[in-house]
Amino acid sequence: MKLPVYLDHNATTPCDPRVVEAMLPYFTERFGNAASRTHAFGWQAEEAVENAREQVAALIGAGPREIVFTSGATEAVNLAIKGVFDRYASRGNHIITVKTEHKAVIDTCKHLERSGGEVSWLPVDSEGLIDLSELEAAIRPTTILICVMLANNEIGVIQPVREIGEIARRKGVAFFSDATQAVGKLPVDVQADGIDLLALSAHKIYGPKGAGALYVRRRDPRISLTAQMDGGGHERGMRSGTLNVPGIVGLGKACALCEKEMEADRVRIEPMRDRLEQGLLRLDGAKVNGSRIHRLPATTNMSFAGIDGEALLAALAKDVALSSGSACTSASPEPSYVLKALGLDDELAYASLRIGLGRFTTDEEVGYAIERVSETVQRLQRQPS
């Protein structure tokens, strides 16, 4: 076993060697621009991109022409929300979202509020779930978009997206879901779930950083977006810019592997997550945050009363890689807004760990993490405050 043990897979995942192998030729001998239509180098690149488009689409139940490649999930989120807001401005300016969304959604919605948009921020219960009746009651004649993430990046809680999709369809409102943490770990079907727009990222599913995609529904109903980046009209005019061919190939390969291995990964990882929780729940003041039923198979978020969370992470840093929340908010000195929305006080929110297991996590590593976290928490609890 190599140290440190990596248990922060919600922040990023290691690239699967099979993904790296698929990408390598597109850095060297197949280096063409996918938009170069006059020679074999461009044709090779374009063929690779279209193959990846099919692989991404297959994983989420979409059609290949509904996939728009981006630099990652944050760009996909911005394109979805701002693109709908601009395109459907004549219909309304109201968006509904949730207080526990990823910062990419929250900050984009706040930007639109400053630009004349109106945003309703739904609360969650103590398990991190929204109230569907509150969602439906929030819909107005001017509502143009509902934004609810599929699975939370800090606590792993899964929202009832199929029911949300039914409400959105019945009310004639577009439904966007940030599925970055869910795709590749759970079965996702945009048709069955009634999702009109969906964001995903390669580096959360053992692919490379810098590659992602946005699903945009083409029929029943057809969703149109206003481009947020102008240029050569790439990606059917929705996202200009020279395509990151190696990254897109890696995203496609990662999706293809997840489609084949997702259930086997879940069957192996979920018991390790449960074993980790059981081991740490023996500690005084330990609790799991969020629903223990509606959640991702590889994620847990735990609080340890009576300790300083920063001191805990610092003490573990050389041996076990963990985080106290989203990597996208790690520069913030504030306690996790997700945990605060669940009702945790500042002290407990500060004393929390997000633990994310992955495809390459071993039983030995889990056992080591239980031992190291336990002894560190107990030592910190004994220290005078």
- The phi, psi pair for 120, rounded to 5°, reads -100, 130
Query: Is residue 217 within 8 Å of residue 66, measured between CB atoms?
Result: yes
Q: What is the DSSP letter of 291?
A: -
Question: Which two tokens mark 104?
Answer: 């990419």
Q: Which amino acid is at 160?
A: P
- 117 touches 108 (CB < 8 A): no
Between the CA of residue 246 and those of 21, 81, 226, 353, what are the distances in Å? 10, 27, 27, 34
Determine contact, residues 99/121, Cβ cutoff 8 Å: yes
Q: Which residues are paired to 8 by β-bridges?
A: 356
What radius of gyration do the chain's Cα atoms show? Answer: 21
DSSP SS3 for 121:
strand
Catalytic residue IDs:
328
How far from chain centre, in Å, is Cα 249? 20
Residue 132 and residue 160 in contact, taking contact as beta carbons nearer than 8 Å? yes
The helix/strand/coil state of 6 is: strand
Give the helix/strand (H/E) hosting 350.
helix 346-350
